[in-house]
Amino acid sequence: MTATHAATGASRLTLYGQEVSSRLLLGTALYPSPAVMEEAIRASGAEIVTVSLRRESAGGRAGDAFWRIIRSLGLKVLPNTAGCRSVKEAVTTAELARELFDTPWIKLEVVGDDETLQPDVIGLVEAAKILLDDGFEVFPYCTEDLTVATRLVEAGCRVVMPWGAPIGSGQGLMNRHGLRTLRARFPDVTLIVDAGLGAPSHAAEAMELGYDGVLLNTAVAKADDPIAMARGFALAIEGGRLAHEAGLMPPRDFATPSTPVVGTPFWHAAG
């Protein structure tokens, strides 16, 4: 039994009409070996993995090993445009990825800053419109900016993926208020926190906010034990989703006894 199937209370995730059981999307870079990557994916229960066109187009034995793992695990591939710094480059990369991976899915990234890898949100919206018009099913990687998310949804994106923090930083949810606002504003849009998560508790927090899923890579791939960390994230995501669906108690500014005292007998020693 995989981590994502340990409990059955959490609902399934729908992405452009396709359903999956796991709400964890896992990256495939930075692992110490293909074998470790395979075992980490198994431990995570993930059914969708992201992959860079640039890595796979290089081919060779590493590429062959990747595709063997994909086939053996029956995974769905979400190609990405990682490293693209212009609209033209991102669109061209997406077109090549559609041919290579035989999928209309594309994780759209347009880098705007080399130091933080923050998305170029203006270029992102422009590229998303071009790709959506060309039949792609776009998963845009953006910031938690409400206006940008609105533009992406208006363009036709049915999935939006705001960052928790800069890629690979492990800082968790830097702007919890902003992420909560996005969730409230777009109740019918699939929202996935993508990037910046460093601990399973960060993923659980995102799910408790009502997010539909989490996409991560570095926190698992670079852990001392990627396999154990992958399972830890899977359990945290499932727990956070179940808690959200069950209904979290609101925080209070005062104490409330868990055991009521009304009607409780008080015994007094005889004097």
Are 183 and 209 contacting, i.e. CB atoms less than 8 angstroms apart? yes
Alpha helices in the chain (DSSP H): 34-44, 53-56, 60-73, 87-101, 121-133, 146-155, 176-185, 200-208, 218-221, 226-246
Residue 49 belongs to a domain: yes
pLDDT at 21: 94
* 103 in a known ligand binding site: no
- What DSSP assignment string belongs to 62-81? HHHHHHHHHHHHT-EEEEE-
Query: What does pTM read for this prediction?
Result: 0.88
Residue 77 belongs to a domain: yes
* 196 in a known ligand binding site: yes
Closest listed residue to residue 75, CA positions, set 50, 104, 57, 56: 50
* 195 in a known ligand binding site: yes
Residue 5 belongs to a domain: no
Query: Which stretches of the chain drop beneath a pLDDT of 70?
Result: 1-10, 54-63, 260-271
pLDDT at 263: 61
Residues catalogued as catalytic:
107
pLDDT at 8: 37
Closest listed residue to residue 218, CA positions, set 203, 197, 235, 232: 197
Residue 254 belongs to a domain: no
Residue 115 belongs to a domain: yes
Dump pLDDT digits (tens) for 232-266: 999 999 999 999 999 998 888 888 777 766 665 65
* 175 in a known ligand binding site: no
pLDDT at 260: 67
Residue whose pair of structure tokens reads 């086939």 in the numeric block:
71
Residue 261 belongs to a domain: no
Residue 59 belongs to a domain: yes
Residue 240 belongs to a domain: yes
Domain count, the chain: 1
Residue 84 sits in which domain range?
A: 14-246
pLDDT at 264: 59
Residue 32 belongs to domain with CATH number: 3.20.20.70
Closest listed residue to residue 44, CA positions, set 230, 237, 238: 230
* 164 in a known ligand binding site: no
